[in-house]
Copies of this chain bind each other. A is one copy, B any other.
């Protein structure tokens, strides 16, 4: 399942927070200039990484959080039989590594899906900074809370819903996250991950995913292509996602 292990290319390239300031969905946005400067001083831009690169592996000492600048990643855990289990996908603006906070080591592997730039945030210094800055702490807690809620909600769905429903919710989630990230409402969702990863993430076999995609296609809800899916009936998808 893990084919090519290219060595990590850590191209160090000093850079300001230019990549972050433009978007509201960024940790820096909560900071006054003084604290932003402090945070800026400890973060480092890293990249480019290529598909298959592993940013960290489970069991390695946890010392760094990553903010995704451009590109995308998946995280995966190992089941006791040694199979990989995809536990999440991460896109630009999202924070990678939060599930390691409070632990000594990363609980999962982070695998790059396409050309990707990251922003490395030393965890120790960052958490100390949070301790002295209520606004930043609130940002961090907010994100962790979001994460807990999202996981819990996702878990709930996975227990109850059928494959078709889960897939619709997943697609709608991808769409929504891209709206939040980019503000654009294109109905074409690019798939930077393999279908196999999606199936794994949804708890389905690739065969079942394939059949389910076909079903949605026949229902006129999506147009499933190879590396992209066009969402033809957003209403149907968001209806699936309603609490």
- Taking beta carbons and an 8 Å cutoff, which residues of A are in contact with B? 77-80, 85, 87-88, 98-103, 107-108, 127-128, 130-134, 137-138, 140-149, 151-156, 158-160, 202-203, 242-243
Contacts and interface: CB of A to CB of B under 8 A. Distances in A.
Contacts of A140: 141
Q: Which 4 A-B pairs have the closest CB atoms?
A: A102-B145, A159-B203, A102-B142, A101-B145
A184 B177 CA distance: 47
A160 B85 CA distance: 9
Q: How many copies does the complex hold?
A: 2
Given A100-B145, A103-B146, A160-B203, 5 more contacts: A79-B156, A79-B243, A107-B152, A148-B151, A155-B158
A133 B127 CA distance: 12
A218 B211 CA distance: 37
A131 B146 CA distance: 19
Nearest to A152: B87
Contact of A242 (B80, B145, B203): B80
Given A80-B242, A131-B134, A101 B141 contact: yes
Given A77-B153, A79-B160, A155-B154, A137 B131 contact: yes
